[in-house]
A and B are shown apart, each in its own frame.
Chain A
Amino acid sequence: MEHILSILIFFPLAAALFLLVFFRGGKSTMWAAFAASVVEFIFTIPLMTNFDKTNGGMQFVEQTWWIKSLGIQYYLGVDGITILMIFLTTLLTMIAILGSFTYIQKRQKEFYIAMLVLETGMVGTFLALDFFLFYIFWEAMLIPMYLIIGVWGGKRRIYAAVKFFLYTLAGSVLMLLAIIALYYVHGQVTGEFTFDILKITSQYAAYSKGFQMLIFVVLFIGFAIKVPMFPVHTWLPDAHVEAPTAGSVILAGVLLKMGTYGMLRFCLPMTPYATITMMPYVAALSVIAIIYGALVAMVQKDIKKLVAYSSVSHMGFVTLGIYALNQAGIEGGILQMFNHGIITGALFLLIGLIYERTHTREIADYGGIAASVPLYATIFLIFTMGSIGLPSMGAFIGEFLVLVGAFEAFSDWAILAAIGVIFSAVYMLWMFQRVLYQSLNKKWENLADMNLREVIYIFPLLVIVFWVGLYPETFTSYIHESVKQLVEHMATAAVAMK
């Protein structure tokens, strides 16, 4: 258990190197990659079981110097906010790899290597407690994702890959400067020059309001692009649509969460004054994202694009919850991050597997295929309902908590956000109707239903969706304490601000 976090981070990388050296592509590579991802997932289980839920602080901490002369540490830790994300990451990577077996037909070896490297980046981002380390992982993820979109993507993959890359990069270069600024300011305040996130956070009271505002805005823009929030969301539809299934799954499932994770870990606790000042504006943006995303999703002609815009809408709930700055809101936000990962991930998998058979993503090309693929239709329906936020499924709990929290903080915005509940039903069901219901398009009469492999990789997601919906405490119990600490932290800051 000592180095479980390091193992979690570097095992996929080691596996990738192993693949690079010893494999030549083909079936064996796939299975090797899958095996690696399964092992990685298994590593998270002791992490989950040994996690002390009554402790809101960092656990399994690993801390050594990395670049001592610059005050940079190799500092890892996991708390309630991250542990679910780790679980989500390893789970989705595993599933995405299994889901790519038939989808990826060219350069398979490279693909699985990219996936595993990406996993390292994602896990590292969530676990890093050193700002510099965080930034390294944060950016490092871009390259494999860029390749996944660009090499294995659809027709406009190049545009999408470049857009994804540059958009995100543009947001994060200034973030780097903010990080350095925090480093120096913290150094000036305490005399200790360090990138230690916890230490920098603990000194928030010493940062002037103007400085906090500046840092907040810069960090926020960086994270907002990743989330993505309106109006910096336009990379998402392109990236989602063009990415291969596994790419979309990871993108929607994990990468978007990095933005909100960043807000939770940095924007809120480090710059609480600014956060409190900016709270209503962020809420407004979130609500715009919720409604705007839903409305635009409604009129999309491409299934993936529709789901992509729906992500904008759903992630709006997450940010709304987080910036409510109360227990319910933040917990809801985190849970919603988790749920969105599971549900949207599953939807992308489902779209991907039908795309493999039909080679079209145009909604208009489908119609009535529920008749030829009943099992598929059922599972698709379940996740559609999950996405809509039907009670008994995960997203409902998340949305509910978000709205409870948001209602307490800014009721008017919460009411507007709740309108999103209507629209989500409209666009998802309309899509569902046009794709699976109505009269059967003759082309798809002999469409093959889901095979065993496909059922196997969807199944865990199915279980989790209901699990979260029916007994969320399994998951929320991890986050209670950490969120409580965060909320108390914000409350203290709010008092200090006055």
Chain B
Amino acid sequence: MTPQAMMNLVSIAPEVLMTVFGLILVVLDVMTKGEKKSMVGYFGIAFMIITALISQPAIGGKYLGFGNMVMWDTFSYVFFVIFALAYTLTTLGSVEYLRDKGILKGEFYTIMFFSIIGMMFMVSAFDLTVFYVGLETMAISMYVLAGFNKKCAKSAESGVKYFIIGAFSSGMLLFGMTYVYGATGSMNYLEIAEALKNGAAENATVKIGLILMLAGFAFKISAVPFHMWAPDVYQGAPTPAAGFMTVAPKAAAFASLVRFVWIALEPVAGLWGTFFSILAVLTMFYGNLVALSQTNVKRMLAYSAISHAGYMMIGLVAMNKEGYQAIALYSLIYAFMNIGAFTLLGVLKNKGMVEDERLESFAGLAKKNPMYALGMLIFMFSLAGIPPLAGFIGKYMIFMAAMKAELYWLAVIGALNSALACYYYMRVTIYMYFNEPEYEVDATIGRSAFITSFIGAVVVLAVGFFPSAFISFVKHLLV
């Protein structure tokens, strides 16, 4: 094998491996019945672990194959691990939920699994075609996941909403992409960058094309004003799917965005810097302010997810190494805390411990079920970014990046927003701990959901105390 062929193979090997595993899952799905369907998910976890173990690139190693089309490096790997974690946690947390809802189907896991392949392509793409197809793979999977609970009108509604708006945004993305392609003459990131450097940036169509493209990206990361779908979709989607959707696709969008803007758009940094700083401010404020007035916890978490995208955008705007490292770390931590929170939310609701995710129905949860209340408390404070919990480390890295880039004003706005955000997270804890229960419920929660929330909580605590490992994990990231 020539070195080039070797390179090619390595660059795409993880995805290929994943695809093979995905196909095995499809087969497994057919072979299992009823309760056993959860095996599909568990096998998926095993496959993820296998892939993660064997696909780890050497530190600093870059495998760019297929004519600069796909890149496998630490950056891709770290985000792959994030997706894998999101998958693992969601799978563990979802079995019980799906069973209770009567939608325990292997497809849930298969689709989630394939969506991760799409995300991996998005992240490792060095060419807009690969990126686009990966993006759509992910997006279509997400539409399906959102509408997965067919019997529930809300789920169907959220699926359709997500789908229509998503398709619209990818239309805009594409339209923008065509102009960029037209002006630079290529779909390849490196060539785009080259062309932009050589004067294509002067071309006015590039500007409008980029704005349309970035708007498409902004849609994926749910940045204001392209965020409108997010609360409705998260609220309607099956809770584990919602948890997954707030984490993995967003991380993928951010990662691919980082790749794109750092490599392809490096010559027009001013443009996207301004673009995302405007959006970051809007996103943080809008997400937090509206979350304040929510009475449905799931919806509140949806808005909070929007605001978290705002914080992460600060890392993007910082335009330094710390910035995207912070984004990676943030996504990683966010995976644990948000999926943990969503899992708990879903399970508690299904068991009747909370009603309809209403805030008031959380009253006295600490009495009804102290362990889960404690878990929820940890997730809430972590999301709020209170040390020593993991969420703080994430925010801290973001602020570090912003300060380094001398984006003081953005850092200040971010900090103020995180103070503002505290209130609505706290409100959940207020109801859980400070109020008397509205009604008594006797219910036990299954093992897998417990494990998910337990892992989430433990990691959230552990990262708070020993962030070193996590930080050094992302420290080797290089775009």
Q: Point out residues on A near B: beta carbons under 8 Å.
A: 66-70, 107, 110, 135-140, 142-143, 146-147, 150-151, 157-158, 161-162, 165-166, 169-170, 173-174, 176-177, 180-181, 183-184
Q: How would residues 383 to 416 of chain B score, 1 for a CB under 8 Å from any chain A CB and 0 otherwise?
A: 0001110001000100110011000100110011
Q: Which of A69, A137, A170, A177 contacts B471 (CB 8 A)?
A: A69
Residue from A70, A151, A183 whose CB has the most chain B CB atoms within 10 Å: A70
Contact B433 A136 (CB under 8 A): no
Q: Is the beta-carbon distance between B415 and A174 smaller than 8 angstroms?
A: yes
| Given A67-B467, A150-B434, A174-B415, 20 further pairs, Cβ under 8 A | A66-B468, A69-B472, A69-B475, A110-B366, A136-B387, A139-B386, A139-B388, A140-B387, A140-B388, A146-B426, A150-B430, A162-B423, A169-B419, A169-B422, A173-B418, A177-B412, A177-B415, A180-B400, A180-B403, A181-B403
Residues of A within 8 A of B400 (CB): 70, 180, 183
CA distance A170 to B386 in the complex (A): 12
Name the A residues within 8 Å of B386 (CB-CB): 139-140, 142-143, 169
**Pairwise interchain contact A143-B403, C-beta atoms closer than 8 A:** no
Rank and list the top 3 A-B pairs by shortest CB-CB distance, nearest first.
A173-B415, A136-B387, A139-B387
A69-B475, A139-B386 known; A158-B415 Cβ under 8 A: no
With both beta carbons as reference points, the residue of chain B lying nearest to A218 in the complex is identified as: B412
Contact sample, A vs B, 8 pairs, CB 8 Å cutoff: A69-B468, A136-B392, A140-B386, A140-B387, A150-B430, A169-B386, A176-B415, A177-B408
Known A-B contacts A170-B419, A184-B403; the reply to A151 vs B434 at CB < 8 A is yes
Cross-chain contact A150 with B387 (CB below 8 angstroms): no
Closest beta carbon of chain B to A165's beta carbon, Å: 6
A161 in contact with B434 (CB, 8 Å): yes
A177 touches B422 (CB 8 A): no
Closest Cβ neighbor of A153 among chain B residues: B434
List residues of chain A with CB within 8 A of the CB of B381: 143
Write out the residue numbers on chain B whose beta carbons fall within 8 Å of the beta carbon of A184: 403-404
Which B positions have Cβ atoms within 8 angstroms of A?
366-367, 370, 381, 386-388, 392, 396, 399-400, 403-404, 408, 411-412, 415-416, 418-419, 422-423, 426, 429-430, 433-435, 464, 467-468, 471-472, 475
CB distance from A341 to the nearest CB of B (A): 24
Q: Please indicate which of the listed interface residues A66, A68, A135, A140 has the most CB atoms of chain B within 10 Å of its own CB.
A: A140
Instruction: Give every chain A residue within 8 A of B434 (Cβ-Cβ).
Output: 150-151, 157-158, 161
Is the pair B387, A135 in contact by a Cβ cutoff of 8 Å? yes
- A140 and B435 CA atoms in complex are apart in Å by 23
When distances are taken between beta carbons in the complex, the residues of chain A under 8 Å from B396 are 176
CB of B426 within 8 A of CB of A162, answer: yes
What B residues does A146 contact at CB under 8 A? Answer: 426
CA distance A96 to B303 in the complex (A): 41
A44 and B408 CA atoms in complex are apart in Å by 42
Q: A139-B386, A143-B386 are known contacts. Are A70 and B471 too (CB-CB below 8 A)?
A: yes
* Interface contact A165-B422, CB-CB below 8 Å: yes
Contacts of B471 on A, CB cut-off 8 Å?
67, 69-70
Q: Are B467 and A166 in contact (CB under 8 A)?
A: no
The minimal Cβ–Cβ distance linking B310 to chain A, given in whole angstroms, is 15
Q: In the assembled complex, how far is the CB of residue B327 from the closest CB belonging to chain A, in whole angstroms?
A: 16
Complex alpha-carbon distance, A151 and B418, angstroms: 24
The answer to whether A177 and B399 touch across the interface, beta carbons within 8 angstroms, is yes
Across the interface, do A173 and B472 meet the contact criterion of CB distance under 8 Å? no
Asked if residues A166 and B403 are in contact (CB atoms below 8 Å), the reply is no
- In the bound complex, residues from chain A placing their C-beta under 8 Å from that of B388 are 136-137, 139-140
Closest chain B CB from A242 CB (angstroms)? 11
Whose C-beta in chain B lies nearest to the C-beta of A185? B403
Give the docked Cα–Cα distance between A409 and B8 (Å).
75
Bound together, the chains give a CA A384 to CA B388 distance in angstroms of: 38
Are the C-beta atoms of B370 and A180 separated by less than 8 Å? Answer: no
B370 proximity list for chain A (CB < 8 A): 110
CA distance A176 to B467 in the complex (A): 17
B415 near A147: Cβ-Cβ < 8 Å? no
Return A39 CB to nearest CB of chain B, in Å: 22
Closest B residue by C-beta to A150: B434
Nearest-Cβ distance from residue B78 to partner chain A, whole angstroms: 15
Taking the nearest CB of chain A, how far is it from the CB of B425, in angstroms?
Answer: 11
The answer to whether A166 and B423 have CB atoms under 8 Å apart is: yes
Contacts of B415 in A (CB 8 A): 173-174, 176-177
Instruction: Chain B residues near A162: list those with CB within 8 A.
Output: 423, 426, 430
Q: How far is the CA of A147 from the CA of B373 in the complex (A)?
A: 13
Shortest CB distance B320–A (Å) = 12
In the complex, the answer to whether A176 meets B399 with C-beta atoms within 8 Å is: yes
In the complex the two chains form, what is the Cα distance from A107 to B435 in whole Å? 13
Given the complex of chains A and B, what is the CA–CA distance between A162 and B429 in angstroms? 10
* Chain B residues whose CB sits within 8 angstroms of the CB of A176 once the complex forms: 396, 399, 415
Taking each of B400, B415, B434, B472, which has the highest tally of chain A beta carbons within 10 Å of its own beta carbon? B434
Q: Which of B412, B418, B430 has the most CB of A within 10 A?
A: B430
Q: How far is the CA of A136 from the CA of B392 in the complex (A)?
A: 9
In the complex, which residue of chain A has the Cβ closest to the Cβ of B423?
A166
Chain A residues, Cβ within 8 Å of B403: 177, 180-181, 183-184
Set of chain B residues within 8 Å of A161, measured between Cβ atoms? 430, 434
Residue numbers in A under 8 Å from B435 (CB-CB)? 158
Of A138, A157, A161, which is in contact with the most chain B CB atoms at under 10 Å from its CB?
A161
Bound form: Cα–Cα A181–B403 in Å: 7
Q: How far is the CA of A243 from the CA of B464 in the complex (A)?
A: 28
Q: Could you tell me the distance in whole angstroms from the C-beta of B108 to the nearest C-beta in chain A?
A: 35
Check B426–A174 contact: CB distance below 8 A: no
CA distance A177 to B426 in the complex (A): 23
Interchain CB contact (< 8 A) of A177 among B366, B392, B411, B475: B411
Question: What residues of chain B lie closer than 8 Å to A150, measured between beta carbons?
Answer: 429-430, 433-434
Report how far A161 CA is from B435 CA in the complex, Å: 13
**A73→B429 CA distance, assembly (Å):** 32
Other-chain residue from A67, A139, A140 in contact with B468 (beta carbon distance below 8 A): A67
| A173 near B468: Cβ-Cβ < 8 Å | no
CB distance from B476 to the nearest CB of A (A): 10
Most chain B CB atoms below 10 A, which of A68, A135, A173, A174: A173
A115 to B471, CA, bound (A): 31
* Contact A165 B404, beta carbon cutoff 8 Å: no
Residues of A within 8 A of B429 (CB): 150
Name the A residues within 8 Å of B426 (CB-CB). 146, 162, 165-166
Question: Which residues on B sit within 8 Å (CB–CB) of A70?
Answer: 400, 471
Q: In the bound complex, how far is the Cα of B416 from the Cα of A66, in angstroms?
A: 27
Bound together, the chains give a CA A147 to CA B430 distance in angstroms of 9
A138 to B423, CA, bound (A): 19
Q: How far apart sit A157 and B366, CA to CA, in the bound complex (Å)?
A: 16
Residue of A nearest to B396 (CB): A176
Whole-angstrom CA separation of A70 from B471 in the bound complex:
9
Distance in angstroms from B436 CB to nearest chain A CB is 11
Closest B-chain residue to A174, C-beta based? Answer: B415
* Interface-centre pick from B381, B412, B426 (highest chain A CB count, 10 A): B426
For A142, list chain B residues within 8 Å (CB): 386
Contacts of A180 in B (CB 8 A): 399-400, 403, 411
- Chain A positions within 8 Å of B419 at CB level: 166, 169-170, 173
Select from chain A the residue with minimum beta-carbon distance to B381: A143
Identify the closest chain A residue to B472 (Cβ).
A69
Q: Give the docked Cα–Cα distance between A107 and B400 (Å).
A: 40
Closest Cβ of chain B: how far from A351's Cβ, in Å?
A: 22
- Considering the complex, give the chain B residue whose CB is closest to the CB of A138: B387
Cα distance A489–B415 when bound, in Å?
32
- A439 to B396, alpha carbons, bound, how many Å? 59
How many Å lie between the Cα of A57 and that of B408 in the bound state? 34
Contact B416 A147, beta carbon cutoff 8 Å: no
> Whose C-beta in chain A lies nearest to the C-beta of B433?
A151
Complex interface: chain B residues within 8 A of A135 (CB)? 387
A353 to chain B, nearest CB (A): 24
Question: Roughly how many angstroms separate A85 CA and B339 CA in the complex, as a whole number?
Answer: 41
> Whose C-beta in chain B lies nearest to the C-beta of A175?
B415
Whether the pair A158, B430 counts as a contact (CB closer than 8 A) is yes
- Output the nearest chain B residue to A66 by Cβ-Cβ distance: B468
* Set of chain B residues within 8 Å of A143, measured between Cβ atoms: 381, 386
Residues from chain A with a CB closer than 8 A to the CB of B412 are 174, 177
A166→B400 CA distance, assembly (Å): 23
